[in-house]
A and B are shown apart, each in its own frame.
Chain A
């Protein structure tokens, strides 16, 4: 390396100007550092995404898969099919979308509530708190497929633990089916909540640790009980954390593929026909990549719209606050 002393911060622009060639090199350095990441991003993200948008305008069925340039141009036909609510494909997509929306809302609401309750209950130290926190993190630490396969076993009609519990508590008369029929939706929600709430707990706990203790003391001096402290100190101060947390949970849950796929395989019951599996099935079971791509572009547009609106509302709220 050169033996001159270089004390300038790379960020500071006001540093005494070094020789031009070296400054050029320094200006180039961040780009050089980014080069591998950018190349890879182009290769695996930007490129395929543009290709995906392109495919959504093609009639790409299995006959053209190995030679996609020969696939006939379809214009907006794939989108028309996906959005045509009078046709079977459009109706099925809308149904799947509705199921996914309800599923996401339920999973989000329950997971967040569980996470908040657990975080509030473990906020003050007590004996065994470390152990409790570790136990709560286990569902999050387990590989998704291993734990969801276990749930699959637990939800078996004849041999499962869930029906064993329900029958022992006299909550049902006969053993219900959990993995087919209307109950499959609730099975999916329960398994997803089981996977998701520890993450909410983790983030909320971390958020609460940054709330100064004297705020609680001041509230307690004013006569606020624990309930009032949660309402008037914890929740308002957790707002920035919640804003990010809910968005992340929304995107994860809405896009989740592993949980429903591990539970039901590639042909889920219609009541639990989550959108990611629906598009997957449309693409790889019927081998129609054109409509599959059109559906995933529509899904992306929906997610972008929700995220954009959500962030915009959050910003406005912040400005008024």
Chain B
């Protein structure tokens, strides 16, 4: 198709500007992580005076980064796996059956996604504290408590996205399995779940990503030993005396796996995420 010259110029200029905007923080993070401390204490330098890997070594002792990392991995993994398992069952019901209350269930799931997190945080906090007083079950400050609260956002989202994904799997597949003698659950386990693997992985990754970055619940419901990366790093970065090269090294370290995972599964994720809104 014919493209006028002005359009090609507009494309080069527009995409370059947007690309610079998108990448500027990435550049700053990357180069600052490789700088010696004096480089980040004066006026900003575009290039390190010399390259050093010491921020990547020192960051583990400046703040308890290792503990934060373990906490974040445990909490995010458990919350996303648990919500995907529960959501998968619910999504199968919503996608394949017409039953009374189906609409009500879907609307409830969808609408809880728009609720402000603070609305759940205050009562959950009170419930956790009181439950601890009455039963000795200590959820406040524990990882279990945090996992439960994380499911307030991972679960509805997982149900919604998985139901949309299962809708794209042809029913003929289920029916064929049933002709072969499987019951509805057999068809679900042997045919629908394998066909839904890309969607399941995408939802798993996205749930993991949102848990990994969660700040509101973790800032209140964790203590020194259960602190997650998000809260730990934020707390350190807003102090007066900050070793920015180490903070950048730590930010880079905790970002790389997430970004790589996202970019590898980009296509599935995008398909899953847009399934609901583009139709």
Contacts and interface: CB of A to CB of B under 8 A. Distances in A.
Interface string A263-304: 011100000000010011001100001001100110110010
Nearest to B10: A121
A289 B87 CA distance: 32
Instruction: Name the residue among B96, B178, B184, B277 with the largest chain A CB count within 10 angstroms.
Output: B277
A152 B155 CA distance: 31
B123 A248 contact: no
B119 A153 contact: no
B151 interface: yes
Contacts of B183: 1-2, 6
A37 B90 contact: yes
Nearest to A31: B99
Nearest to A295: B118
Contacts of B7: 226
A34 B93 contact: yes
A247 to B, nearest CB: 9
A206 B258 contact: no
Contacts of B14: 117-118, 121
A48 B116 CA distance: 13
B134 to A, nearest CB: 9
A244 B251 contact: no
A51 B148 CA distance: 16
Given A141-B263, A284-B220, A150 B123 contact: no
Interface of B is mostly: helix
Interface residues of B, number: 108
B22 A48 contact: no
B25 A147 contact: yes
9 contacts: A29-B93, A40-B155, A138-B23, A147-B25, A151-B25, A152-B237, A154-B28, A261-B215, A296-B118
B132 to A, nearest CB: 8
B120 A45 contact: yes
B120 A198 contact: no
B70 interface: no
Contacts of A228: none
A312 interface: no
Interface in A134-182: 134-147, 149-154, 156, 158-161, 163-164
Contacts of B213: 143-145, 258
Contacts of B247: 149, 153
B15 A118 contact: yes
Contact of A261 (B114, B175, B219): B219
Interface string B91-117: 011101111001001001100111111
Given A145-B251, A153-B244, 12 more contacts: A3-B181, A37-B159, A44-B120, A45-B108, A48-B124, A49-B120, A118-B18, A146-B252, A296-B119, A299-B118, A303-B115, A303-B116
